[in-house]
Structure 1
Amino acid sequence: MQEYLKLVKNVLKNGVEKADRTKTGTISLFGTQNRYNLAQGFPLVTTKKIYFHAVVVELLWFISGNTNIKYLVDNNVNIWNEWPFEIYKKSKEYQGEDLSTFVEKIRTDYQFADLHANLGPVYGKQWRNFNGKDQLKTLINNLKNDPDSRRHIISAWNPSEVEDMALPPCHTMFQFYVSGDRKLNLQLYQRSGDIFLGVPFNIASYALLLILISKEVGLEAGEFVHTIGDAHIYLNHIEQVKEQLTREPKKLPKIKIKDGIKSIFNLTPEDIVLVDYEFHPRIKGLVAV
């Protein structure tokens, strides 16, 4: 994953210190682009361990159109817990619970989860029901029937519903492109990218989406192009990214989709297998909420 390390170096070298919504502070660089060729392997960061199970579960959650984190919690994925918890703490029902107690209530109490585990109309809602339009099914149908169109686009940024979201979408719009050699390529525009925690996850997620859509429409996965608006490293992650730069990247893993799977809409986490993932030890860092 030299391309990811190149991004880290670019932000450290050319970014400027900037205040942010979380009051953590960042080194920020506006307008970056990196390209990941899937023929070279699956672009999962190897200079620290990435929890790939969470990548898979979250992506299938998006694809399903679900916006309640109970599905994530039930599958031992906790990457979204902080946002509904912050909302819950401001409600009349809050009784001083800590985050772990809040998550356990979501796991065991369906009524509590219905009331307090929904993030509002975030990614899955927009992918599958953008003002009544199922963008994902439309995209797949159009790729099959009009592959050379320049309109293979999905937007998660819905101005009429942004204020109702627990967190407005960071990865806002993506476009598919069928190249002359009939490979399917994907470009993501991400308005905001947390280089240490979020971006390695986003790279893996959209590379996996490219593989799944390619399989669905009968094309070979080509290149994932990642464009970021505000690419930033939080000030409390500086040492962590510098440590990554001292580590030698390992060989990229591969993705295997189990045989017999007919549709992207019927996949389970067990159907997607990561093969030959070698990695350096995990590096911890606090998420800025």
Structure 2
Amino acid sequence: MSYADKVFVDMCSDILKNGIDTKGEKVRPKWDDGSYAYTIKKFGVVNRYDLKKEFPALTLRKTNLKNCVDEILWIWQKKSNNINDLNSHIWDSWADENGSIGKAYGYQLGVKHQYKEGMMDQVDRVLYDLKNNPYSRRIMTNIYVHQDLHEMNLYPCAYSMTFNVTKNKETGKLVLNGILNQRSQDILTANNWNVCQYAVLLHMFAQVSDMEVGELVHVIADAHIYDKHVPLVEELIAREQHPAPKFWINPEVKNFYDFTVDDFRLDDYITGPQIKNIPVAV
């Protein structure tokens, strides 16, 4: 059975059983009807996925890989903060009349900074170091920029990636690992979406750097299930689990900026039915 399913079921069960209920507390998010969106939350959830063994897509319900990849390319490759460059509507609630989400996400990755080696943005700095300084302990990105928070329509949730290179003792090949830091996560709507996105990102960076892919470690400071999501989560984690799908990445792509959504695929992906009309707190 899928390891991602086991991680998800264990995490949700722990939150529901041992989490803290914020009902009655001062919270920011609200539902469409104006009522406060309370959560059951756990602090400091850490999940590990060995991408050499399997791709971490849930089989309890389908995670739409194409839309996941489209958003990760929007942020990391296009470095865009405008929803008109995105093919889904997941950011519509946070965009202004021109489609901008402010100085958030892709905007921050596209800002150039002065390094000893010259001017580079954060993505190009990662690519440079993976090629020239793979054992550096400084290969990381951060889009939680305090001076620009007031110009962000939504503060970044997944805000930092730390990349670390090890070596496969059997093959001698370098192995790329990553830690995704997330300040907050809506577990039902976003957990496996983000896991799949950053698993794909690691695969992309590993391939263009001539490395093997290794572990993705996901650190969530505030892992929460919204009050209106509890019955949906309870039904979801009780479902039948299936074997993990097979992940395909186009082996011909050697430049990070050449990837498209069509260069990725999940084969033999058997899932339970999709959950529709999930209420989203804003």
**Higher mean Cα deviation, 31-40 or 16-25?**
16-25
Q: Does 1:50 align with 2:54?
A: no
- Tell me, in whole angstroms, the C-alpha distance in 2 between the residues paired with 1:259 and 1:142: 22
Q: Does 1:149 align with 2:136?
A: yes
- The correspondence for 1:71, drawn from 85, 108, 114, is 85
- Number of equivalent positions: 257
Contact persistence 1:153–1:174 (CA under 8 A): yes
- The correspondence for 1:139, drawn from 126, 146, 163, is 126
Letter in 1 for 2:279: L
Partner in structure 2 of residue 253 of structure 1? 245
**Higher mean Cα deviation, 10-19 or 164-173?**
10-19
- Tell me, in whole angstroms, the C-alpha distance in 2 between the residues paired with 1:208 and 1:148: 21
Q: Does 1:41 align with 2:57?
A: no
Structure 2 matches for 1:231-250, cutoff 5 A? 231-250=223-242
The alpha carbon displacement at 1:255 in A equals 2.2
Partner in structure 2 of residue 288 of structure 1? 281
- Tell me, in whole angstroms, the C-alpha distance in 1 between the residues paired with 2:243 and 2:112: 39
SS in 2 for 1:210: helix
Letter in 1 for 2:12: V
- Tell me, in whole angstroms, the C-alpha distance in 1 between the residues paired with 2:146 and 2:218: 23
Contact persistence 1:40–1:252 (CA under 8 A): no
Partner in structure 2 of residue 10 of structure 1? 14
- Residues 33 and 21 of structure 1, relative CA distance in 2, 3 Å threshold: same
Gaps of 5+ in 1: 89-115
Structure 1 length as normaliser, TM-score?
0.85
- The correspondence for 2:39, drawn from 8, 26, 29, is 26
The alpha carbon displacement at 1:171 in A equals 0.5
Percent sequence identity over aligned pairs: 35
SS in 1 for 2:270: coil
Contact persistence 2:65–2:265 (CA under 8 A): no
**Higher mean Cα deviation, 11-20 or 221-230?**
11-20
Partner in structure 2 of residue 96 of structure 1? none
C-alpha deviations, 1:28-77, integer Å up to 9, x for none? Answer: 111110101112211111111222221010011012111110121xx3x1
Q: Does 1:169 align with 2:156?
A: yes
- Tell me, in whole angstroms, the C-alpha distance in 1 between the residues paired with 2:195 and 2:237: 18
Letter in 2 for 1:125: Y
Structure 2 length as normaliser, TM-score?
0.87
Contact persistence 2:19–2:40 (CA under 8 A): yes
**Higher mean Cα deviation, 249-258 or 168-177?**
249-258
Gaps of 5+ in 2: 30-35, 115-119, 169-173
**Higher mean Cα deviation, 193-202 or 252-261?**
252-261
The alpha carbon displacement at 1:129 in A equals 1.2
- Tell me, in whole angstroms, the C-alpha distance in 2 between the residues paired with 1:131 and 1:149: 18
Partner in structure 1 of residue 33 of structure 2? none
